[in-house]
Amino acid sequence: MGKWRVSLWAFMSAIDYFTTYFDETRVDDGSPFPVVAGFCNTYDVWEFFEKKWKEASKHIPDHVVKKYFRYRPSLQNSPEDEQRYKDSLILSQIMRDFTLWPIHVSIEKEFFQPTFDKVDKRAHPLLSGAYAVCSFVCCELLDGLATEQRFKREHGPIKVVFDKGNADERWLEKGYKEYYSEKQNTYLKKKPLFEDDEDLIPLRAADAYAWLLGRKYNHGEELEQLQIIHDPHYVYHRQEMIITADRARKILSTMKAGTD
């Protein structure tokens, strides 16, 4: 697959546009480290990805495939357990082999919570909660990656798609549109999209990726599936940020939190 990735750059000028899919985990409960994560690909690579995912999961009902990563084997270690485990490894390999840019962000929620509790959400929607902060930082990492890699602007802006249904979705949408409609030289579209992860395979993959990262940051459990996705021999441009309390102080010092 290494040669496949290298050769991709040779015909990237023929690709029409880029799309990034993000999903979240642990943003609404009491977990100390909420996560937003996903993948950015060209349109053509997403086509490869979806084809491979469908082939690997054709025997799995669509409404349960993302739960395979959340499954814990029974004490009996039944044939069903073994099959679920093998399926999750295969799907992880597809996420590794057919995604170009994995992106994820987690924050130390305890430090941010006083800000979330006091902030005026209408004035500062991107500080409305863990979901908005993690999602916004993911977008900034994506925009920075596009700048670093010198994406060609004639390919069009990057489409950003989030899983729909989060309670703070409206605040993220409001803040995103306000920020990126004013930001100079951004590579991102001015408006985000929100879709159901039951309908889109890339969002199912983002959901699985976010869940695996949530296990790592909240339980210290780096599962084999996550190790496969993060294999350094395949992943050249992984973007990640873990915003601990120390880093948060620096970020918040440059933002108007609206808490006075």
* CATH code at position 108: 3.30.420.10
| Residue 181 pLDDT greater than 90, yes or no | yes
Residue numbers of the domain that contains 53: 2-252
pLDDT in tens, 1-47: 444 444 443 444 444 489 999 999 998 878 999 999 999 999 889 99
pLDDT at res. 13: 40
Rounded Cα gap, residues 2 and 100, in angstroms: 11
Selection from 202, 162, 161 nearest residue 65 by Cα: 202
Beta strands of the chain (E only): which ranges? 18-25, 35-42, 101-107, 159-163, 193-195, 239-243
| Angle (deg, nearest 10), helices 130-148 and 109-118 | 110
Q: Is residue 257 part of a domain?
A: no
Q: Is residue 142 part of a domain?
A: yes
pLDDT at res. 238: 75
Domains contained in the chain, number: 1
| Residue 236 binned pLDDT confidence (cut-offs 50, 70, 90) | low
Q: Are 212 and 33 in contact (CB under 8 A)?
A: no
Q: Is residue 73 part of a domain?
A: yes
pLDDT at res. 222: 92
The region of weakest confidence among 48-52, 69-73, 171-175, 254-258 is: 254-258
Instruction: For residue 179, count CB atoms less than 10 angstroms from its CB and return exposed for 0-12, middle for 13-18, buried for 19 or more.
Output: middle
Q: Are 21 and 161 in contact (CB under 8 A)?
A: yes
Q: Is residue 258 part of a domain?
A: no
| Cα 43 to the center of its chain, rounded Å | 17
CA torsion angle 88 96 197 89 (round to 10):
0
Task: Please count the other Cβ atoms lying within 10 Å of the Cβ belonging to residue 157.
Answer: 16
Q: Is residue 221 part of a domain?
A: yes
pLDDT at res. 73: 56
pLDDT in tens, 67-112: 777 766 555 667 777 888 889 999 999 999 999 899 999 999 998 8
pLDDT in tens, 98-157: 998 999 999 999 988 998 999 999 999 999 999 999 999 999 999 998 998 888 787 789
Q: Report the relative pairing of strands 18-25 and 159-163 from DSSP bridges.
A: parallel
Rounded Cα gap, residues 241 and 141, in angstroms: 8
Averaged pLDDT, 185-206: 93
Q: Is residue 260 part of a domain?
A: no
| Residue 235 binned pLDDT confidence (cut-offs 50, 70, 90) | low
Cα 19 to Cα 39, 154, 215: the distances in Å are 8, 15, 26
Q: Which residues pair with 165 in a beta bridge?
A: none
Residue 127 CB contacts under 8 Å (≥ 6 apart), including other chains: 115, 116, 119, 121, 133, 255, 257, 258
158: helix, strand or coil? strand
Q: Is residue 91 part of a domain?
A: yes
pLDDT at res. 7: 44
Backbone φ and ψ for 230, nearest 5 degrees, come out as: -95, 15
Selection from 211, 204, 224 nearest residue 57 by Cα: 204
Task: Pick the more confident residue, 229 or 150.
Answer: 229
Q: Are 73 and 83 in contact (CB under 8 A)?
A: no
Q: Is residue 6 part of a domain?
A: yes
Averaged pLDDT, 167-181: 96
pLDDT at res. 76: 60
| Residue 212 pLDDT greater than 60, yes or no | yes
